[in-house]
Amino acid sequence: MNWHFIGSCLDGETFRIGGLDVWQHPWTAQPQTARVIDPHYGVAKQFNVYRLGPPEAPVLFAAGEFSNGVWGFYAPAAADAAP
């Protein structure tokens, strides 16, 4: 699966994915990981993949820390997001 960068924020700072603030909802870990590229330094990283939101409309994303307290978020590339 290919992933594209959707943004970054400080730990606890409001950040929305699929209309949901990521810090206000539980993340459900998924079995896969995502190989992503840091958009600022071009460094490859391995981030965990999570599911967020209600079971009838879950949002899949990858997240991890770029540095202490600075989180990066990625979504599946459009071609990979289709059922």
Does this model's pTM top 0.85? yes
End-to-end CA distance of the chain: 13
**Distance, CA of 41 to chain centre:** 18
pLDDT above 90: residue 83: no
Instruction: From 11, 20, 78, 15, select the one nearest 52 (Cα to Cα).
Output: 20
The residue ranking higher by pLDDT, 58 or 78, is 58
What pLDDT was estimated at residue 81? Answer: 55
| pLDDT tens per residue across span 37-77 | 999 999 999 999 999 999 899 999 999 999 999 999 999 99
Work out the percent of the chain whose per-residue pLDDT is above 70.
Answer: 94
pLDDT confidence tier of residue 80, bands split at 50, 70 and 90: low
Rounded Cα gap, residues 13 and 70, in angstroms: 10
User: Are 47 and 74 spatial neighbours (Cβ–Cβ below 8 Å)?
Assistant: yes
